[in-house]
Structure 1
Amino acid sequence: MKKKLLATLLSASMVLGVVACGSNTQTTGTDSTASTQTADNAGADTASDAPVEYPPVTFMAIDFNSGASNTGDYAEQVMQQLEEHTGVDVEIQWVQSDVLEEKATLAMQDPKSMPMIMTWNGAVTGTVVTAAKQGAFVDLTEYLKDSTKYPNLSQQNPGVAESLTVDGKQIGIYRARVLGRYGLSYRQDWADALGLAEPKTIDDVYNMLYQFTYGDPDGNGKNDTIGLEMTSYTGPFDIMQTWFGCGNGWAEKDGKLIPVWQQDEYLEALNWFKKCYEEGLMPSDWASRTTDTWSDGCKNGENGVYIDVLDGGRRIWDYFVNNEIPSVTDPSQFASMNLLSNINGKTMATSGYNGYFTLSASTCDTPEKIEAALTLLDKMCDEEMLILTNYGLEGVTYEINENGNVVRLDASDDALKANYNGLNQLVAYIPGTESELTEEKTERQIKEADVKADAEKYAVLNPALPYLINSATYASQGKDLDDKISQARTQYICGEINEDELKAAWQDVLDRGYQQIIDEVNAQVK
């Protein structure tokens, strides 16, 4: 960009000016010790007041916009604001989500050309662990303790950060997500029509599912409703298991960490799911319904209970309002959803993150380059950058109304949104996920935020996350073995295998490597 050349020329002229005025010098290092400086005149500017000139940063980021991220007439202006705020010139290498891991793996085969910052989807994989053990990534442990240089990143959640620690070294910066995001949402107008109170216990939930299936909640006199929304996505089972006292993936028992399928409560939960399936309280073909239909059942009036992320329940509610779906109890009002943070005082916690950034040791090979990369990531979490990456340019893609809230000018203009779309993939969202400047919140959004905040009090964390990442057997076999456990659960719920066959499947998984995983996890705990 032309502005980069201009910035270089300006930097050069500033250096010459400083030399002429008093020979002030500044050096930077990996620690937070300031700089060495001399001045001929007592009143001369100190070197610490001069802006630090960082080397450019290359950044592999996810493109969810089919090649249209940061494109358009104002794209360069948006990028200029980003670079001016962070003080770092950045070259983004956009990669489609479905080929991200493939591209990242290929990049690691040529270390000297690896992007300085690399984005990874989801949680840490065996590929990343292996690369980390071979020294592919910068150890960020000490850097991220520096609250002076990195005021945002230094506020990371220690428990979540542990999930990105390999052999005692933090190898990534997580992209934060709300811990209390999972819960139960249900058709409030259906419940009102049937005289059902807000469910608090598992029995309450069962009664709601039964009544939503057989009590004609929509009042049309037809047997055309089913209580629980389900597809082949089995996340709802993971959430509901916690209501019975199961852990989140793993649990502590007698001072030892075990996978939840070794808990007595796990089989109790599966028997409840099996009962719900046999009684028709969930779709009979749920296991073959594709995940892209997830939430359609509630939207089209087939189902009344949705168990997943609370924002999913709120989006169903949005659908009712935006499409003017009438309430079954009062047609002058719209249908609505109620969102609940817990059942039996439990819900499943998220991992606290979704995706993460690593710094490549081969290309972040000097203290200055490491500092440039971390400064970029830290400043991208500033309020100004949260606004820029979420709303774009004031007066172009949004304006602020008399109440101090954002009004989008690009709500129905995808080409205008493209100017800043995708740049949120450069944000770690530490310490917070939202800017103070927001759109005016609807009743539904306020409800969602309140329930998510409440859910954090009940969210069951996975105690094994920090240890699984360092289990060599889990890195190589964990996903396949977990898939076998999930498959056996589905088969049992659907009546394809009996209890003895279910337990035989668990034993087979133990013999194939899961016992070794359990041993490796608990060796670390000790």
Structure 2
Amino acid sequence: MKKKKFFKIIAVNVLVASQLLLAACGNNSEKAGSDSKEYSSDSKLEVSWTAMLHTPSPPTDVVLNKIEEATNADINFNWVPDASKEERITAALASGELSDIVSLTMLTNSSVRQSLKSGMFWEVEKYLDDYDNLKQISEEIRSAASIDGKLYGVPFQKDLARSGLLLRKDWLDNLGLKVPTTLDELYEVARAFTEDDPDGNGKDDTVGFGDRNELRYGSFKTLSSYFGTPNGWAVDENGTFTHEVETQAYKDTMNYSRKLYENGYLDKDFAVTAKNDQMDKFAQGKTGIFTGLVGVTGLLNLAEGIQEEMEIVPVNKIKGPDGKHHIWSENSGVGGLLAFPKTEVESEAELKRILQFINDLIDEEVFMLMTGGIEGTHYEIDENGAFQIIDNELWQKDVQPFSSSRPSEITHSLIDANPAKQQVNELIEENAEFAVLDPTVPLDSQTASERGTELEKIIIDATIKYIMGEIDEKGFDAEVEKWKKSGGDAMAQEFEEAYKKAQK
């Protein structure tokens, strides 16, 4: 039997580079006897899994034991904090020291794409239709998750577009404001939340927009959608690609954000604020606008005992200058890949057994374990068939960390007893009607694969500096020219070639 390559739960504070080196010491010895291992669909699986952790601490074993029982598996999680995933995953890919399953959630990351194209991971397309749940993965999602037409893992299935805004409804009510429907109205809410004492405590201690140190999942990407900015790239009828930074809508978004920042309506510390800190500020009543619809449950949980009066209203429709609704789609409904390194999964028989395990994770029983936990302990279904968490604190400890590792968030649906969460679910479904796709998701560019992350940093840094007033438009344009000459133009050309080839 294979030795365990990772501890059952690895504490976040000891998940450092030295752990990878320790894993390396054990890999060679344990593989010596694995060639003779027999795998069948009903054999007990011992599997290690590098997964992303979006919570402060890893989960307890309470729900893990139930998941193992339901999937006939012994699962050894290697939890990687989401905030440090780029550094940790890049290091692991470079060293080649990986687990049986690796959650690769950064498909645009150049190191990840290079590793996938290098043949490091199994191609799985031909196997998916052999499993009752995996065969339901749509052709659109398979295509979007592929690189050069090859699928190097099981796609995480997500909703097409999950972004939007969460606003303090109680603050709106206190100030006599309505839910904003335009960019001008949203700006006025940000101003009022900052200047008009929305919590009524007589202190100047609130800010409109909370934000964090990234453009994609902070406020900027969503605001740029409202302005009509392309989602990464735009392609015209001639197959010509234009990057979002070369559009006026992108600059309009920067000017809007800069005005928010200059007037103090956008958190002055956004450039050095991590996601968890952004959530804490909202939960503590320091900010009143949060970007990301799916954060509603986490924010309400954090606010318990601190902001008991908190009410949140989710917003998904803000009209742009063209009078229409737009929202960016995150990787066309693909949240990444569950990938299987050939160094760890050494035979087709082992791969098939692991694919059976992934398939089993999509079963409703396991989906509910990873979503709600144990019925009667963590959640209940009320007389109206609505889902409700019984003990938030217990749920956060035992269950919440597993939710981001569900292979599919769209196969099963729940009616949430929490009106705000149910409304979020409905708005996310509605977002699909006006979602803006990134046309490069299924395409490949050698420059993007090799240096995409490095080139993206030029744009990110320039945009943040512009918002903060550290450079002017001329300075930003100079950085865009630097980006173009350093590889931006090459990426556009390569995407055009890949696009035209795909159209044939």
Shift of 1:325: 3.8
Match of 1:273 among 257, 276, 291: 257
2:177 paired with 1:196 = yes
Aligned residue number for residue 163 of structure 2: 182
Q: How far apart are the structure 2 equivalents of 1:300 and 1:426?
A: 28
Shift of 1:237: 0.7
Shift of 1:95: 1.7
Shift of 1:197: 2.2
Q: 1:444 to 1:134 in 2, by over 3 A?
A: closer
Q: 1:524 to 1:199 in 2, by over 3 A?
A: same
448-457 or 99-108, which moves further after superposition? 99-108
Q: 1:288 to 1:404 in 2, by over 3 A?
A: closer
Shift of 1:391: 4.7
Identity %: 24
Match of 2:418 among 442, 446, 450: 442
The one-letter code sitting in structure 2 at the alignment partner of 1:96 is: W
Q: How far apart are the structure 2 equivalents of 1:191 and 1:421?
A: 30
Q: How far apart are the structure 1 equivalents of 2:369 and 2:187?
A: 46
Q: How far apart are the structure 1 equivalents of 2:147 and 2:483?
A: 25
Aligned residue number for residue 460 of structure 1: 436
Match of 1:342 among 317, 325, 328: 317
Q: How far apart are the structure 2 equivalents of 1:77 and 1:189?
A: 40
Aligned residue number for residue 294 of structure 1: 278
Task: State the SS of the aligned residue for 1:62.
Answer: strand
Q: How far apart are the structure 1 equivalents of 2:462 and 2:52?
A: 35
377-386 or 223-232, which moves further after superposition? 223-232
2:432 paired with 1:432 = no
2:225 paired with 1:242 = yes
Shift of 1:421: 7.9
**8 Å contact 2:172–2:178 — kept in the other structure?**
yes
The one-letter code sitting in structure 2 at the alignment partner of 1:311 is: V
Q: How far apart are the structure 2 equivalents of 1:290 and 1:227?
A: 17
The one-letter code sitting in structure 2 at the alignment partner of 1:499 is: E
What's the TM-score once normalised by structure 1's chain length? Answer: 0.74
**8 Å contact 2:48–2:78 — kept in the other structure?**
no
Q: 1:514 to 1:448 in 2, by over 3 A?
A: same
Shift of 1:254: 5.2
Aligned residue number for residue 134 of structure 1: 118
2:208 paired with 1:232 = no
2:341 paired with 1:360 = yes
2:84 paired with 1:95 = no
Structural mapping, 1:109-508, within 5 Å: 115-123=99-107, 125-144=109-128, 146=129, 149-234=130-215, 235-253=218-236, 255=238, 256-306=240-290, 308-317=291-300, 319=302, 322-323=304-305, 325=307, 334-344=309-319, 345-351=325-331, 352-361=333-342, 364=345, 366-392=347-373, 412=393, 427-429=406-408, 431-432=410-411, 434=413, 441-467=417-443, 470-508=444-482
Shift of 1:522: 1.1
Deviations along 1:451-484, one digit per CA (max 9) or x if unpaired, are 22222223222221222xx222112211121111
**8 Å contact 1:54–1:368 — kept in the other structure?**
no
**8 Å contact 2:241–2:493 — kept in the other structure?**
no
Q: How far apart are the structure 2 equivalents of 1:400 and 1:198?
A: 31
Q: How far apart are the structure 2 equivalents of 1:283 and 1:63?
A: 27
Q: How far apart are the structure 2 equivalents of 1:227 and 1:268?
A: 19
Task: State the SS of the aligned residue for 1:170.
Answer: coil
Q: How far apart are the structure 1 equivalents of 2:438 and 2:334?
A: 13
Task: State the SS of the aligned residue for 1:304.
Answer: strand
Structural mapping, 1:510-525, within 5 Å: 510-525=484-499
Shift of 1:324: 7.0
Q: How far apart are the structure 2 equivalents of 1:425 and 1:185?
A: 20
Q: 1:62 to 1:226 in 2, by over 3 A?
A: closer
Shift of 1:230: 2.6
The one-letter code sitting in structure 2 at the alignment partner of 1:259 is: H
**8 Å contact 2:106–2:112 — kept in the other structure?**
no
Task: State the SS of the aligned residue for 2:442.
Answer: helix
Shift of 1:381: 0.5
Shift of 1:495: 1.5
Q: How far apart are the structure 2 equivalents of 1:241 and 1:275?
A: 14
Deviations along 1:375-409, one digit per CA (max 9) or x if unpaired, are 22112201122133445556776676666667778
Q: 1:115 to 1:202 in 2, by over 3 A?
A: closer
Task: State the SS of the aligned residue for 1:166.
Answer: coil
Deviations along 1:28-56, one digit per CA (max 9) or x if unpaired, are xxxxxxxxxxxxxxxxxxxxxxx965584
Q: How far apart are the structure 1 equivalents of 2:404 and 2:298?
A: 22
Shift of 1:446: 1.8
The one-letter code sitting in structure 2 at the alignment partner of 1:197 is: K
Q: How far apart are the structure 1 equivalents of 2:195 and 2:57?
A: 48
**8 Å contact 2:109–2:453 — kept in the other structure?**
no
Q: How far apart are the structure 1 equivalents of 2:270 and 2:434?
A: 28
Q: 1:318 to 1:134 in 2, by over 3 A?
A: closer
Q: How far apart are the structure 2 equivalents of 1:232 and 1:124?
A: 18
**8 Å contact 1:244–1:268 — kept in the other structure?**
yes
Deviations along 1:461-517, one digit per CA (max 9) or x if unpaired, are 2221222xx222112211121111111111112221111111011001111111111
Task: State the SS of the aligned residue for 1:505.
Answer: helix
Q: 1:204 to 1:383 in 2, by over 3 A?
A: same
Task: State the SS of the aligned residue for 2:70.
Answer: helix
Shift of 1:139: 2.1
Q: How far apart are the structure 1 equivalents of 2:76 and 2:107?
A: 21
Q: How far apart are the structure 2 equivalents of 1:282 and 1:429?
A: 34
**8 Å contact 1:194–1:217 — kept in the other structure?**
yes
Aligned residue number for residue 79 of structure 1: 68
Shift of 1:523: 0.9
* Structure of higher CA gyration radius: 1
Q: 1:53 to 1:227 in 2, by over 3 A?
A: closer
Structural mapping, 1:4-83, within 5 Å: 53=42, 56=45, 58-62=47-51, 64=53, 71=61, 79-83=68-72
Q: 1:201 to 1:124 in 2, by over 3 A?
A: closer
Long gaps (5+) in structure 1: 2-50, 84-89, 327-333
**8 Å contact 2:233–2:241 — kept in the other structure?**
yes
Q: How far apart are the structure 2 equivalents of 1:466 and 1:403?
A: 41
What's the TM-score once normalised by structure 2's chain length? Answer: 0.77
Deviations along 1:316-346, one digit per CA (max 9) or x if unpaired, are 45555x33747xxxxxxx3322111121112
Deviations along 1:106-152, one digit per CA (max 9) or x if unpaired, are 6736xxxx7544333433543343333332222222322x2xx3221
Task: State the SS of the aligned residue for 2:430.
Answer: helix
Q: How far apart are the structure 1 equivalents of 2:400 and 2:266?
A: 38
**8 Å contact 1:124–1:164 — kept in the other structure?**
no
The one-letter code sitting in structure 2 at the alignment partner of 1:465 is: V
